[in-house]
Amino acid sequence: MKPVEFHEAAREAIRGFSKEVRVEFGSALIKVQLGMTLGFPVSRPMSSVYPGAHEMRFRDASGIQRVFYYTKSQRTILVFHAFVKKTRETPLSEIAIGRKRLKETLSNEKA
């Protein structure tokens, strides 16, 4: 099972999600750790963030939540951004934050 590394801001955002979404996220993440490929509607590629990045998609009574993750790392699965989505399309600001955090996480991994 491949270990998971969280960007601290992503971990904090996920802690703010409902218990229902956290359970769904945990279940999906275990599948990714086991090498399974998640498909739509649970996950979709997010090449606009970075090649190899994906977005997990969750919805509950409080709204829509997204978690960006990256599986191409040699050692770990990187969970680098999580947020509550308030618009139909993923805001460019969230994509920019995701890019920045993934680059930070990848550079820390090489260090």
The mean per-residue pLDDT over the stretch 45-56 comes to 94
Interval 4-42: pLDDT, tens = 999 999 999 999 999 999 999 999 999 999 999 998 999
Average pLDDT value for the chain: 92
Band of pLDDT at residue 107, cut at 50, 70 and 90: confident
73 pLDDT band (50/70/90 cuts)?
confident
* Percentage of the residues of the chain whose pLDDT score is greater than 70: 97
Nearest of 83, 77, 82, 79 to residue 36 by alpha carbon: 77
Domain residue extents for the chain: 4-110
* Distance (Å, whole) CA 103 – CA 83: 18
pTM above 0.85, yes or no: yes
- Identify the CATH class of 4-110: alpha beta
As a whole number of angstroms, the distance between CA 31 and CA 94 comes to: 25
Tokens 């890019």 correspond to: 99
